[in-house]
Structure 1
């Protein structure tokens, strides 16, 4: 049986993948994650997941590669990771009191086959006060997170409900990932 490689340095993805009970190693690819002109969020995350998988497959052609990419989108606008405190406040002002989508593209690739899926979850955010934003920034949790928040952390208090996969919002939709791993024979 081929060895599984997770093409991600994300501790959250690693923790989620462990929940599926599979053995894997980690190789973090270095690819350009720029958004193409007029690129839709679903196309963006699927493209990046496939590019990450391909980059690692070139180094490990006998392995099964699992790659994913997650973004936050609101009104067809891709929301990235905060550059600084001011940018985080801009993101939260945009998300505050509204519903947004978290999309994850997942790609499982071998030298012989490729299976992809894009999963979308609707996330409702409460209205955030400047005091709440300031306190959340001070926690350091938003740094490096798509949409400037982590649902599995302090930000859970700002989210009254989600519609869809919770693990998708964390960074790896487990049900769909399990189906892709089944398709290549790594899960029963």
Structure 2
């Protein structure tokens, strides 16, 4: 894996001045100034009304980018390990010694049985749990989790095993979905034992 860590010392800061006499932040000459932080490839990522605020925002940005990159790399490693394990656990195909001539009706019946067996197998499969993320869940909340995963839309969790999510106002739910990890952990606090 390539090192995608963004370092604060690689960021550049630049003062930008624009002529905008209509702006309330303009000085007596009509100039508005602010600071921008740029990544090593020149992408402008944060701004601040002064250099101190811009530096503070840049530090936060670098931390969030690196945290997200670490989470993605870790989930990729877990997925690769799971894929390797699945490949090694698959049984070898058994070759049939004889081939029989099958009528069209029998083919349709065999296909229907195979499809229903596949559907039954899918419904009994264990729900997906990202074990890397599970390590960051408080131990007292872990028994409540049936499914835990991350995708492009954020973090998803299905609650069960005698637990529910108290949505307030007497409403209950069994799914938590949040775009950010901190918001997800806050929502996880509302998981309670079902009455």
TM-score by length of 2: 0.23
Tell me: higher relative CO, structure 1 or 2? Use CA pairs within 8 A at least 6 residues apart: 1
TM-score by length of 1: 0.23
Q: If you compute each CA radius of gyration, which structure gives the higher value, 1 or 2?
A: 2
